[in-house]
Amino acid sequence: MGTFSEMVRSIFRKLEGRPGGFAKRLDLKEAFRLYKEVLESNNRALMVITDMGEKLGGDFIFDINYVRKAYADLSADIRGSIERFDLLTGGRHDAAGAFNRVDSLIRAMVYGTAPASGKLVVFYDDISWDMVRDVGGKNYHLSELRNMLGLKVPEAFALTGAAYDAYMEHNGIRQMLTAGDAADTEGGLETIREAVAAGEFPPGLDRAIGEAVATVARRAGGGGSLAVRSSAEEEDGDLSFAGQFMTVLNVPLEKEAVKEAYRKVVASLFAPGALQYQKQHGYAAGSLRMPVGCVLMVDARSSGVLYTADPVGGREESLLINAAWGLGSTVVDGRTDADLFIVGKKPALHLEEARIGEKQLMAVAAEGGGTKEVETPPEMRSKPSLSEEDALELASIALEIERYYKRPQDVEWARGADGGMSILQSRPLVAAAAPAGPAPGRDELKEALARYPVLMSNRGRVVQKGVAGGKVFVVKNAADLDHFPRGAVLVAKHDSPQYVRVMPYAAAIITDTGAPTSHMASICREFRVPAVVNAGVATQSLAHGQEITLSAEEDGSATVYAGLAEELLQVQAANSRSMEDLYEFRRKRYLMRYISPLNLINPLVDEFTAEKCRTMHDILRFIHEKAVQALVDASVHAEGHAAFKRLDLPIPAGIHVIDIGGGLVEGKGEKVSVEEVTSLPLRAIVKGMMHPGAWHTEPVSLGMRDFLSSMVRMQEPAQEQAGFAGNNIAVVSREYMNLTLRFGYHFNLVDCFCSERAGNNHVYFRFVGGATDITKRSRRIRLIEEILREYGFISTTKGDLIIARLSHVGRDEILDILEKSGRLIAFTRQLDAVLDSDSDVERFKRNFLEDKYELAD
């Protein structure tokens, strides 16, 4: 057998010969340099995103110049990053394509033209965050309640702005609108209205409507009808055009009927009163496009309207529900003496008052389409149209919506014959008066706050200011998120983009570690969830289930009080709505939707591709992950480094070290001692492997099945990792380590970067194989997975393979985790052989976490 490096080269040559091999693999030093450059430009880009989030967050007066300049900086950084990234990955990923796609959307916004998807019909399930312009505000917000909050919203589809354009174009109406002053005279308007009301449908739109109607009919399981209504609404729902446009109810599920309803709804855009209203708000006739919503009608037993605050009395502590039998139109139009329920919010939701109206009239679906008002059967008139239980259920749904939008809401609802509560619309409660009496002044507030014990103060970095109260929910691993209660305060050791899953329902977030430029931080800003990172002791100071109030201040100080500090929450409520009420503010801020949200969360799933990137933040995350991968590849297949040195260890781990810069004390000789290792991650992991007791030297006995299994497995073709059979390699620099280990039949890869900047850091852990039968090997994987999750890793497993990742953790903590991972590697090395039952997994896990390494009971 030749020298070690000769052997590595020969393996490398074999790999090069494979299809899809590594012919163009980069020199490792070059790869590492590119990798660091990618990280640097990514960091600059993330800082710009942070700055934009701050400047556009409502605390600064900004203008379009700022937006343009900041975006120019951001795109330059990302372009730079992609350039390096392409060199690093050999252009394998189309990051530039993703960038161009998102960039064109943002540019269109910064420089004033609206993007559109071009789709004619979109089902609510398929409406994503970037379609608000296509589908209109009403469709968008309703779909959001269904898709984001999981509320019961009827089956529905949107006829988009593109459908509107196609219809207008096909019937020559666009030309009529642009020709002279046709829209300014009553005669001209009349002509336009008639043309719209009698228009033909372009074939594509005709077909799309037919298909959509058939799909709804199929999903509705036969029967049912649609409500067809305008969604021509300013995207954030401020200018709602409430009541301006026609709604056609009870439209049969037939293509021609829907087309007829569409004509009527679109024609109402040109009704004299509606035009007047548009003009008042700065829309010239014909400049507004009208997306339309087609929503399956609920077979309503009762329906009505709910306000999450009292718009007249200004009482914030109660919700008002108006309800009547049948469809909601009698309530909306105030044509029946509806029931009024007042629900108190505190301490828990409770019915404060029920005024039962006479409800002489009710609206019902008419045969063959439309609705009619009928006399309410006498025995139902003075009966409450909602039970107390229903009222409370409805109130709790509405509060969830309010929490999501962070503004009081005006909600239309219907209670179906099946008892289910459907939401038909939710919009900001514009009439909400200022809270009764002024918010408490500074001194009063101080006095009031003195009553609440301070649990934590002046710790950490405020990433999103605000005040929020709720019960503490300590998240230890990703699985805990499944049980996250709505409205709770998320407390965790690390910050993690995983938390985006619960972000819409979280009252606030506090983490022990983390950075203000992290992915999570920018998501918090996007959702305006008050958040503090790097608070150090949150998981110790705050108890699971405890009620707290977080006050994260503009000046960067944060205080956590025990209990719900009502006075503070009240001040927050008085202040929070202001900037959001400005149309210009929301419009300018809108581009952040294409910049800061993060949709790519878990790098371990298939959807983690360039094509799935929808925001600049996604692109940065994608680049980072794939750059790590490229570096791992380059390290695993490192070749041409003269300086292989054998690491002299008291355990027979047989590790060879390749130093790519600052990883070893310089010197000659073929051996290096642990003391000569200057690579921080390698030192840490080796320290863990040498931890007293963790490395077992006594042989473990294999059972007959294990023995047979190992014989069979020896016949298996070499896996990719087997290329380094018998030799363990660490490619290192001072802050980087790529460690490939093979012990017996299992293969282990640990890749780590641990700089001073938490946002750059990662640990990638892969483990596969073993000599025993698959049941035992899988048990070992489960054990490893459970322990790694305790340390904050996210992971995916398949049979006897585990891939786990950890990122955005500070250096000291990473080194601590690496040390523990070293112990874990040493300890589990032969452990599969003794994992005879599932309960062993739990036992060894407990023991390991308690620093006990005995194999016997």
Partner 1 sequence: MSYRIMIIDDEKIVGDMAKLSLEQEGYEVETFLSGAPALQRLREQKFDVVVTDLKMKGIDGLEVLRTVKELSPETKVIMITAFANLNVAIEAIKADVNDFFPKPVKIKELKESIKKALQK
Asked if 64 interacts with partner 1 (CB under 8 A), we say yes
Among 6, 30, 59, 842, binds partner 1 (CB under 8 A): 59
- Rounded CA-CA distance 320/224 in Å is 30
Asked if 214 interacts with partner 1 (CB under 8 A), we say no
Nearer to partner 1, 58 or 654 (CB): 58
Asked if 443 interacts with partner 1 (CB under 8 A), we say no
- Rounded CA-CA distance 175/182 in Å is 10
Asked if 47 interacts with partner 1 (CB under 8 A), we say no
Asked if 525 interacts with partner 1 (CB under 8 A), we say no
Smallest separation (angstroms) from partner 1 to the CB of 408: 18
Question: Which amino acid is residue 680, in one-letter code?
Answer: L
Pair of tokens at residue 496: 């993690």
- Rounded CA-CA distance 802/824 in Å is 14
Output phi, psi for 85, to 5 deg: -60, -40
> Concatenated DSSP letters for 717-779?
PPPGGGGGTT-EEEEEESSEEEEEEEETTEEEEEEEE--S-GGG-EEEEEEEE-SS-HHHHHH
Nearer to partner 1, 467 or 478 (CB): 467
Site string for partner 1, 536-575 (x = CB under 8 A): ------------------x--------------------x
Asked if 129 interacts with partner 1 (CB under 8 A), we say no
Smallest separation (angstroms) from partner 1 to the CB of 587: 8
- Rounded CA-CA distance 206/647 in Å is 73
Nearer to partner 1, 59 or 358 (CB): 59
Asked if 704 interacts with partner 1 (CB under 8 A), we say no
Asked if 430 interacts with partner 1 (CB under 8 A), we say no
Among 4, 22, 66, 277, binds partner 1 (CB under 8 A): 66
Asked if 277 interacts with partner 1 (CB under 8 A), we say no
CA atoms within 13 A on the CB side of 678: 11
Nearer to partner 1, 22 or 583 (CB): 583
Nearer to partner 1, 107 or 587 (CB): 587
Smallest separation (angstroms) from partner 1 to the CB of 585: 6
- Rounded CA-CA distance 421/417 in Å is 10
Asked if 581 interacts with partner 1 (CB under 8 A), we say yes
Among 4, 484, 585, 608, binds partner 1 (CB under 8 A): 585
Nearer to partner 1, 584 or 698 (CB): 584
Classify residue 125 by its DSSP letter.
Answer: G
For residue 739, count CB atoms less than 10 angstroms from its CB and return exposed for 0-12, middle for 13-18, buried for 19 or more.
buried
Smallest separation (angstroms) from partner 1 to the CB of 616: 20
Asked if 61 interacts with partner 1 (CB under 8 A), we say yes
Which range in 412-420, 583-591, 706-714, 781-789 contacts partner 1 by CB under 8 A?
583-591
Smallest separation (angstroms) from partner 1 to the CB of 131: 25
Nearer to partner 1, 55 or 528 (CB): 55
Pair of tokens at residue 154: 């009827």
Smallest separation (angstroms) from partner 1 to the CB of 555: 9
Asked whether the beta carbons of 343 and 376 are under 8 A apart, the reply is: no
Smallest separation (angstroms) from partner 1 to the CB of 430: 15
Among 178, 276, 540, 578, binds partner 1 (CB under 8 A): 578
Nearer to partner 1, 61 or 642 (CB): 61
Nearer to partner 1, 64 or 242 (CB): 64
Which range in 56-64, 308-316, 407-415, 458-466 contacts partner 1 by CB under 8 A?
56-64
Task: Tell me the Cα Rg of the chain.
Answer: 32
- Rounded CA-CA distance 825/688 in Å is 9
For residue 839, count CB atoms less than 10 angstroms from its CB and return exposed for 0-12, middle for 13-18, buried for 19 or more.
exposed
Asked if 406 interacts with partner 1 (CB under 8 A), we say no
Nearer to partner 1, 181 or 554 (CB): 554
Residue 723 sits at the vertex; the CA angle it makes with 718 and 725, to the nearest 5 degrees, is: 90
- Rounded CA-CA distance 151/623 in Å is 35
Q: Could you check whether the bond before residue 516 is cis, i.e. omega within 30 degrees of 0?
A: no
Among 3, 65, 697, 715, binds partner 1 (CB under 8 A): 65
Pair of tokens at residue 791: 């340390």
Nearer to partner 1, 465 or 691 (CB): 465
Asked if 579 interacts with partner 1 (CB under 8 A), we say yes
Q: How many CB atoms lie within 10 A of CB 732?
A: 27
Asked if 582 interacts with partner 1 (CB under 8 A), we say yes
Which range in 53-61, 197-205, 424-432, 630-638 contacts partner 1 by CB under 8 A?
53-61
Among 62, 123, 590, 707, binds partner 1 (CB under 8 A): 62
> Concatenated DSSP letters for 535-584?
-SSHHHHS-TT-EEEEEE-TTS-EEEEES--HHHHHHHHHHHTTGGG-HH
Asked if 30 interacts with partner 1 (CB under 8 A), we say no
Asked if 280 interacts with partner 1 (CB under 8 A), we say no
Nearer to partner 1, 59 or 190 (CB): 59
Smallest separation (angstroms) from partner 1 to the CB of 581: 7
Which range in 61-69, 95-103, 117-125, 262-270 contacts partner 1 by CB under 8 A?
61-69
- Rounded CA-CA distance 65/262 in Å is 41
Task: Give buried/exposed letters for 385-420 (b at 16+ CB in 10 A, else e).
Answer: bbeeebbbbbbebbbbbbbbbbbbbbbbbbbbeeee
Among 9, 55, 406, 845, binds partner 1 (CB under 8 A): 55
Quick one: three-class SS letters along 619-683?
Answer: HHHHHHHHHHHHHHHHHHCCCCCCCEEEEECCCCCCEEEEEEECCECCCCCCEEEHHHECCHHHH
Question: Order of strands, edge to edge, in the sheet holding 300-307?
Answer: 350-355, 339-344, 318-325, 300-307, 409-416, 421-428
C-alpha to C-alpha distances, 157 to 208, 260, 415, 788, nearest whole angstrom: 11, 16, 21, 44
Asked if 283 interacts with partner 1 (CB under 8 A), we say no
Which range in 299-307, 466-474, 562-570, 584-592 contacts partner 1 by CB under 8 A?
584-592
User: Binding-site residue total for partner 1 (CB under 8 A)?
Assistant: 18
Nearer to partner 1, 84 or 588 (CB): 588
For residue 272, count CB atoms less than 10 angstroms from its CB and return exposed for 0-12, middle for 13-18, buried for 19 or more.
exposed
Asked if 60 interacts with partner 1 (CB under 8 A), we say yes
Smallest separation (angstroms) from partner 1 to the CB of 52: 10
Pair of tokens at residue 365: 């679906």
Nearer to partner 1, 552 or 702 (CB): 552
Residue 267 sits at the vertex; the CA angle it makes with 264 and 273, to the nearest 5 degrees, is: 115
Interface residues with partner 1 (CB under 8 A) are 55, 59-66, 554, 575, 578-579, 581-582, 584-585, 588
